[in-house]
Structure 1
Amino acid sequence: MELPRSRRSSHSPVRGMTECGPPYTSAVNEKKSSFKTPLLLSFVIIFVVVASWLSYDIFVSFVSDTQLAQSAVVLVGVDANISSASRIAAGGDVLPGKTSTEAGKIEDRTLGGLLPDLAEFEPGVCASRSQQPHRKNYFQPSKELIRRLRRYEVRHRKCAGRARNFFHPQSQSEKDDCRYVVWIAFSGLGNRLMTLMGAFLYALLTDRTLLVDGTKDMSELFCEPIPKSSWLLPPEFTEEWLKTVNESSPQRFAHNSTDGGGSSVTADFSYIHFTYTFDHKDETFFCDESQDQLESVPWVFMKSDNYLVPGYYFVSRFNSDLGALFPDRGLMFHLLGNYLFHPSDAAWAWITRFYRSYLSNQDRLLGIQIRTFRPGPLPSFSEQLQQCILNNSILPKVVADGHSELKQQISGLRELKNGTTVLMTSLESYYYDNLREYYLSRPTESGESVAIHQPSHEGKQRTDNIGHDIKAWAEIYLLSLSDSLITSGWSTFGYAAQALAGVRPWILLKSEDDQVPDPPCVRAKSVEPCYHQFPIGNFKCPSKDAAHDRNSFAYLQPCEDVFFGAKLVQ
């Protein structure tokens, strides 16, 4: 119902009666007409005015109620180039202005069965879950993944509460069948998302329960993903105790054994070490024999700054499971990441405020993630970004500098076409300023608008600062709402955004000499993150005559940005 139209129509019956009424010829008829017509007109006018007021009140009430109920933001789409997996309609509240057809698509809050039913969680806890999701499309999980997740949730509820037994020796009769993998927080937020998802997948593959190191403000960043349970380590696992689990620990897997090789598996626990100080002995974790040894270990602790998931394909026993769980190997992080990572209320408030203020009224959302790994702004990187954008027609070009073109564009400003909203994330404001100036200085050739927004510019990364980490997580999530993405090579921050979104980004290649690379950017082969330090034939498993090699697997290919790394593709 359109309010202005209702008000205008209140006078149309009057015009119809005076202009189109029947002719009156007799004096009597004219007298009757003079009496009846004003009275009838009065009733009609009163009726129409009241109806208009009522329709206005109903309209305002509807909009107000919808806006009050609506705390999620407008959804944006995913990359149409990923066509090998089916997509499902997302769940979420319906926004004012959405048509019934659009609203009808917004039904499935479980993302095709990926998530538990919302009724299983405590009501009123975790707004991002109840308002889930933002994105127009997700990719359909396999039936086997859905089944395995439901089975995992049952096991998690059973075993998570028994984790305190680690510090309390049990008799043989008291021991149960619960086994655990403990993720120890390490490095920045992007790395944490990569490694936490990898630890969860390892728990799925080995029938273990994932427990998360909560000493790094994890509860202030994420909601609990498992209904009626917690994924956080019990408080008995103090930060001081966890610090003792490191590369020098006697429990470090494949080290400190009496025969100079093999494993140091103990009755208590084993520690898997994959931070930057790992070596070739640590890589034997990907051998079948190593997994046989770990089978009997109740507690496995993991610390890493690498996305280990591609290495799981080296383990023969994991291959059939991985194929059944993920028919499209290029969507592993997309599916498990959307299962695990739900913004906390503090992060969600930040996300929704920014989205509503700057990103909600857009036809297309382009996310640009800038990370140079060097202090201060780099003019060459700004030029590289612009070349990537214009060479690949990601954004429209501006008109050539000339009076006639400017005059023509200015005269048509009132008819400016809807265009693209750009969300830029960077520690610096320099790249935002340059791109914004480019589109403010002259109009675009197509007449489309380009609006550019940057949520923050922190100057430097401040890992473990909760305020900084909330902004970082909010920006990763906002980027993951994009229709298309440009990310920086080597950046796990960008990897997380592209994988959650299910969007194959354009990757800005890293320059070693401050020169713009040729080409300045390349299109990613899949949305999966890169395993930066992937084993390349440097370790051998006892039962293998030859070293493991990524070339043995067609679905493991060199990363676009890290030639010695590997990533999963379909």
Structure 2
Amino acid sequence: MCCLAESNQDGLLGGLLVPGFDEQSCISRYKSTSHLKKLARSPSTHLVKRLREQEALQRRCGPGTETYRRAAERLGPRGNGNGTTTDDDACKYLVLVPYRGLGNRILAMASAFLYAMLTDRVLLVHRGTSLPDLFCEPFQETSWLLPPDFPLGDLENLTGEVPESYRNLAREYGRAASVSDLPYVFVDLDHACTYHDKLFYCDDHREFLHRAPWLVMRTDGYFVPALFLNPAYQEELDKLFPRKDSVFYLLARYLFHPTNKVWGLITRFYNSYLKDSDERLGIQVRVFDGDTPFKHVLDQILACTSQEHLLPEVVAQDPGPPASTAGARSKAVLMTGLSSWYFENIRGRYWQSATAAGEVVSVHQPSHEEHQLTGEATHDMKALAEMYLLSMTDALVTSGWSTFGYVGHGLGGLTPWIMFKPENLTTPDPPCRRAASMEPCLHGPPFYDCRARGGADTGKLVPHVRHCEDMSWGLKLVHPE
């Protein structure tokens, strides 16, 4: 099966993208269709319409405009400290502070963008140390990067205990909370945030939140499934995403275009090692028990790929003279992970033994950093390249709990086989299972029913939000058949 698209109807992905960008400054924006599969899910006409409206809002209110200057001025020492939006200031802002690994940050950006669309806010993303090196600007004639001279400093160290936090407003005042005296409201959506933080997801607290001109949000994950539990957003989300398993895929194809330097890493590796194979298999390895390689993890990879017939069996005994490989099917295996040990063992398996049916198997790994270097630009560029390479495979095995894996299969529109997180250094049985959808998992979900205003099993409230395969308490979107 070939990964290359059969001449997509256009390079604009069914209206997701708009023409007019300088193609040479961001080659991947229009050329990625030559490497990624054709769209697995088409955007709805309503999504296309709302994207154009969001783009116009970003241009009208974004950095460099007089409206932005006035709004930002209120946050500074000479501002009046009044947090209420006035009639002549129709622009509201969401400042996102994504953090932890690159997978976490990508999931956070996609989630915040959807929330910004739902609430008519301009999205501005804290650039950290590497964001401009990774992605092209998604909007024309404006930037989604938070300007360096933004009046609020030390955003990365904000906590839910600051006076401006949503947690304090909800805890101290409940539905009577007011933002009139606050310059901004801080929303803490860390995967381990509190009950009061998670009330953010319910519409009764949106009654005061929508009046705040500035929201500052700190999050490390994919909180989209929680938005689908909010009755206030239900009608709009149904129109935006008739297929509930397409949210991250479509938003990612719209937002995340690798810079030319990263695109070069992607295309050079793909053309050298993956392009000419009949089939491509991705195996993404993430181990949470330390950097030392583990045999039980290797055994799990081999058990999963054997059980699901993703890798061919090898001949245990000497098969005699080598058979001709003319006309034999070829399979390229792309492995990603911090350690090279798993790659070396699987490559050695197919070098030292012939396959039972004569397939030609090649195994490749672009990098092995040995340790995660969060926020280091070169490390993040390699990580992004590998996520994209995983998305270009025909079948994909990922590690449970891994946001890196979520992004890889989400970008490619692939429904992966997820390897369960090992317990007690033992290979799980079964080793893996096919995911119910290509959507990422929300690791820190709410356990509160917005309608009933009480605790609930939120994986059973609506048919399109279920618990994750790899994390029993997590939530993910599925498309109910």
Q: Secondary structure at the match of 1:137?
A: coil
Q: State the AA in 1 paired with 2:302.
A: Q
Among 389, 396, 399, the residue aligned to 2:305: 389
- CA–CA separation in structure 1 for the residues paired with 2:144 and 2:132: 10
- Is 1:343 the counterpart of 2:248? The answer is no
Check conservation: 1:215, 1:239, Cα contact below 8 A.
Answer: no
**259 and 136 in structure 1: CA distance in 2 versus 1, 3 angstrom threshold:** closer
**Offset at 1:183?**
0.9
- Is 1:135 the counterpart of 2:36? The answer is yes
Check conservation: 1:406, 1:443, Cα contact below 8 A.
Answer: no
Among 394, 402, 414, the residue aligned to 1:483: 394
Check conservation: 1:347, 1:470, Cα contact below 8 A.
Answer: yes
**Offset at 1:129?**
1.5
- CA–CA separation in structure 1 for the residues paired with 2:454 and 2:9: 51
The count of residues paired between Structure 1 and Structure 2 equals 462
Among 46, 49, 68, the residue aligned to 1:147: 49
1:454 equivalent in structure 2: 365
**123 and 247 in structure 1: CA distance in 2 versus 1, 3 angstrom threshold:** same
2:291 equivalent in structure 1: 375
Q: State the AA in 2 paired with 1:413.
A: S
1:406 equivalent in structure 2: 320
2:193 equivalent in structure 1: 278
**Offset at 1:174?**
9.1
Q: Secondary structure at the match of 2:329?
A: strand
1:363 equivalent in structure 2: 278
2:425 equivalent in structure 1: 514
Deviations 1:35-81 (A, max 9, x none): xxxxxxxxxxxxxxxxxxxxxxxxxxxxxxxxxxxxxxx9716xxxx
**Offset at 1:246?**
2.6
- CA–CA separation in structure 1 for the residues paired with 2:160 and 2:109: 19
2:61 equivalent in structure 1: 159
- CA–CA separation in structure 1 for the residues paired with 2:21 and 2:292: 45
Deviations 1:239-276 (A, max 9, x none): 84424533232111031579454546354211110114
- CA–CA separation in structure 1 for the residues paired with 2:118 and 2:153: 30
Q: State the AA in 2 paired with 1:391.
A: Q
Among 241, 249, 266, the residue aligned to 2:162: 249
**Offset at 1:483?**
0.7
1:71 equivalent in structure 2: none
**281 and 364 in structure 1: CA distance in 2 versus 1, 3 angstrom threshold:** same
Check conservation: 1:255, 1:261, Cα contact below 8 A.
Answer: no
**423 and 137 in structure 1: CA distance in 2 versus 1, 3 angstrom threshold:** same
Q: Secondary structure at the match of 1:415?
A: coil
1:470 equivalent in structure 2: 381
Check conservation: 2:400, 2:421, Cα contact below 8 A.
Answer: yes
Check conservation: 1:205, 1:318, Cα contact below 8 A.
Answer: yes
- Structure number with the higher helix fraction is 1
**Offset at 1:238?**
6.9
Among 101, 124, 142, the residue aligned to 1:188: 101
Check conservation: 1:75, 1:135, Cα contact below 8 A.
Answer: no
- Is 1:232 the counterpart of 2:145? The answer is yes
**Offset at 1:478?**
0.7
- CA–CA separation in structure 2 for the residues paired with 1:167 and 1:148: 25
Q: State the AA in 2 paired with 1:144.
A: H
Among 466, 473, 478, the residue aligned to 1:557: 466
- CA–CA separation in structure 2 for the residues paired with 1:447 and 1:238: 64
1:210 equivalent in structure 2: 123
1:76 equivalent in structure 2: 3
**Offset at 1:510?**
0.8
Deviations 1:147-173 (A, max 9, x none): 110111111111113433333248998
- CA–CA separation in structure 2 for the residues paired with 1:255 and 1:385: 46
Q: State the AA in 2 paired with 1:406.
A: G
- Is 1:523 the counterpart of 2:425? The answer is no
Check conservation: 2:229, 2:462, Cα contact below 8 A.
Answer: no
- CA–CA separation in structure 2 for the residues paired with 1:496 and 1:239: 30
Check conservation: 2:228, 2:465, Cα contact below 8 A.
Answer: no
Q: Secondary structure at the match of 2:433?
A: strand
Q: Aligned-pair RMSD on alpha carbons?
A: 2.1
Q: Secondary structure at the match of 2:345?
A: helix
Among 13, 17, 33, the residue aligned to 1:111: 13
Higher relative contact order (CA 8 A, sep 6+): 2
Check conservation: 1:164, 1:234, Cα contact below 8 A.
Answer: no
Q: Secondary structure at the match of 2:334?
A: strand
Check conservation: 1:272, 1:282, Cα contact below 8 A.
Answer: yes
Q: State the AA in 2 paired with 1:552.
A: L
**393 and 454 in structure 1: CA distance in 2 versus 1, 3 angstrom threshold:** same
- CA–CA separation in structure 2 for the residues paired with 1:76 and 1:251: 49
Larger Rg: 1
- CA–CA separation in structure 1 for the residues paired with 2:187 and 2:312: 49
2:268 equivalent in structure 1: 353
Q: Secondary structure at the match of 2:247?
A: helix
**Offset at 1:130?**
3.7
Check conservation: 2:284, 2:405, Cα contact below 8 A.
Answer: yes
* Paired residues for 1:322-333 under 5 Å: 322-333=237-248
Gap regions ≥5 residues in structure 1? 1-73, 78-89, 91-101
- CA–CA separation in structure 1 for the residues paired with 2:49 and 2:106: 24
Q: Percent identity?
A: 39
Check conservation: 1:273, 1:303, Cα contact below 8 A.
Answer: yes
**109 and 330 in structure 1: CA distance in 2 versus 1, 3 angstrom threshold:** same
Q: State the AA in 2 paired with 1:525.
A: A
Among 298, 309, 318, the residue aligned to 2:233: 318
Q: State the AA in 2 paired with 1:447.
A: G
Q: Secondary structure at the match of 1:485?
A: strand
TM-score, structure 1 normalization: 0.77
**281 and 329 in structure 1: CA distance in 2 versus 1, 3 angstrom threshold:** same
